[in-house]
Amino acid sequence: GEEQSGHIKEVGFELYQSMLEEAIVNLKAGVVEPAADRWSPQITVGMPVLIPENYVADLSVRLSLYRRLADLDTDEEIDNFAAELRDRFGVLPDEVRYLFKVAAIKSYCRRANVEKVDAGPKGAVITFRENKFAQPDRLVFFIRQHGQAARVRPDMKVVFFQEWETAEERLLGTTEILRQLANLAEDRKAA
């Protein structure tokens, strides 16, 4: 379905197929991965976010790197993992740098109860899981602070209007919005 095709876009068909086969083998063997109960936000940023074959040639190594990245929750853990990849495989290609930025966005999404983010050149649409946010009054204030640059749609999705001309701007802008939402949800100052 839609969620599966989103995952395919993120990792590429060959890798997705291998991940799917591995998951089926594990399920048949009764192996349940510890992170299997953790929900995964869907992030669409309109650019490739993957570990290319020409950067890490071995498929099993790439799979293990994706698994490790999926388990990271903090900016520090993500930054340390990026440094480890640089040490092991060399300078990070753009797709890998974008992958790490998306991993950070996913971490913020889990903290803010955001199940889906669609970001493009004109801004981002944020969908909350079950339309719930931990601090609704703070969310309303946050949206009002943005004036005409943010609004809540009738379907309860929040739209942030931005002009992001480059992929880098889109990732940085989306990261900042989600970081602030995560801090608001956790009752921290979103500065």
pLDDT in tens, 147-173: 999 999 999 999 999 999 888 899 999
What tokens appear for 19 in the block?
């991940």
- CB distance 145 to 186 below 8 Å: no
Query: Global pTM?
Result: 0.78
CA distance 55 to 91: 9
Say what the pLDDT of residue 19 is.
59
Model confidence band, residue 47 (pLDDT cutoffs 50, 70, 90): confident
How much is the average pLDDT of 113-123?
95
Strands (E), 37-155: 42-44, 114-120, 123-128, 150-152
Beta strands in the chain (DSSP E): 42-44, 114-120, 123-128, 150-152, 158-161
Closest CA to 104 of 126, 122, 82: 82
Does the pLDDT value for residue 5 go beyond 50?
no
Instruction: Give just the sign of the alpha carbon dihedral 15, 17, 18, 22.
Output: positive
pLDDT at 180 over 80: yes
59-117, pLDDT tens digit by residue? 989 999 999 998 898 999 999 999 999 999 999 999 999 999 999 999 999 999 999 99
Q: Which residues of 60-70 are buried (b: 16+ CB within 10 A; e: fewer)?
A: eebbebbeebe
Q: Which CATH number fits domain 2-185: 3.40.50.1580, 3.30.200.20, 3.90.1150.50, 3.40.640.10?
A: 3.90.1150.50
CA 69 to chain centre: 11
Burial grade of 18 (CB within 10 A; 0-12, 13-18, 19 or more): middle
Q: In the predicted model, is pLDDT for residue 2 greater than 50? A: no
| Interacting residues of 97 by C-beta distance below 8 A, sequence separation 6+ | 82
CA distance 121 to 124: 8
The residues spanned by each domain of the chain are 2-185
Q: How confident is the model at residue 185 (pLDDT cuts 50, 70, 90)?
A: very high
Query: Could you report the per-residue pLDDT of 22-41, keeping only the tens digit for each?
Result: 667 666 666 555 444 567 89
